[in-house]
Amino acid sequence: MAEAFSTYRAMQVRAAEAPLLAAGEPLMRRAAAALASVVRDELTDAASSRVLVLVGGGDNGGDALFAAAELASVTEVRLLLLSDRFHEEGLATAIAAGAARVELPEARDAASGYDVLIDGMVGIGSSASSALRGTAREAVELLLPAVRAGRPRVVAVDVPSGLNPDTGEADDTVLPAAVTVTFGAVKAGLASGRGPSLCGRIVLVELGLERGLADEVPAGEASVDRVVRG
């Protein structure tokens, strides 16, 4: 049963994460494990399924790569890198686990053959300007027809890439998610503007930010479909 949770702005979430990161908490690995678990639940038959991971250059890309490493043991995983910079340890871990890289033309041509697409391009670092640019924008434009036709289903990492995490503003170059797996706290943009129409079901991964957010004023409220422990 869905439950109401407070939403927070990106700045508030980053401030709540800071003490945990300073203490050496492996938040990325914990988030990635929870993400992989949610994606597995989206696969009807993991042994015969295919997963495409869109990898950006920020922390969301790292989350997606470490999740890809866990998924590669149970299903076919392909990685589409959309930035010149990426989480090197995450990529090495995913490749060692059996994931393989693809280029954009191949991903576009085979898009409808994937069961799930993990959107790990851009996260809450996009709050200044939500619109996708460059190769990430090109990839979304090329993959949108297959997604809108119903296959693959999109699992967004933290927020759908291109959606402003604070306001919910977005243009039309966003992959509409079936599920958004949001980390630590529900981002305000998932419940405002175009957020509700683009994020699908919200799964909240608890990472222990409650103490850091206790004195913060929530931005609003959102309906959360499921809560998992990261």
Query: What are the 10-residue block averages of pLDDT along the chain, 230 residues in total?
Result: 93 96 96 97 89 94 97 97 92 98 95 97 76 94 96 97 95 97 98 98 97 96 95
**What is the pLDDT at residue 84?**
86
pTM of the predicted structure, to 2 decimals:
0.96
**What is the pLDDT at residue 126?**
56
**What is the pLDDT at residue 32?**
98
CATH number, position 163: 3.40.50.10260
Task: Point out which residues pair with 220 in neighbouring strands.
Answer: 7
- The pairs formed by 14-18 with CB atoms below 8 angstroms and a separation of 24 or more are 14/124, 15/212, 15/216, 16/184, 16/185, 16/209, 16/211, 16/212, 16/213, 16/216, 17/184, 17/207, 17/209, 17/212, 18/212
Backbone angles phi and psi of 143, in degrees to 5: -95, -15
**What is the pLDDT at residue 230?**
85
- The residue behind tokens 């979304």 is 140
**What is the pLDDT at residue 195?**
97
Strands (E) located in the chain: 3-8, 50-55, 76-81, 100-101, 116-120, 153-157, 179-183, 186-187, 201-206, 220-224, 226-229
Q: What is the largest CA-CA distance in the chain?
A: 49
Q: 128-139 in b/e burial notation, b at 16+ Cβ within 10 A?
A: eebebeebbbeb
90 is in an annotated binding site: no
Task: Point out which residues pair with 119 in neighbouring strands.
Answer: 54, 156
Say if residues 70 and 32 touch (Cβ distance below 8 Å): yes
Q: How far apart are CA 147 and CA 114, in angstroms?
A: 10
60 is in an annotated binding site: yes
Q: How far apart are CA 221 and CA 33, in angstroms?
A: 26
63 is in an annotated binding site: yes
For the chain, what is the domain count?
1
Structure tokens at 150: 């119903």
**What is the pLDDT at residue 46?**
80
172 is in an annotated binding site: no
215 is in an annotated binding site: no
Domain containing 77: what range? 3-229
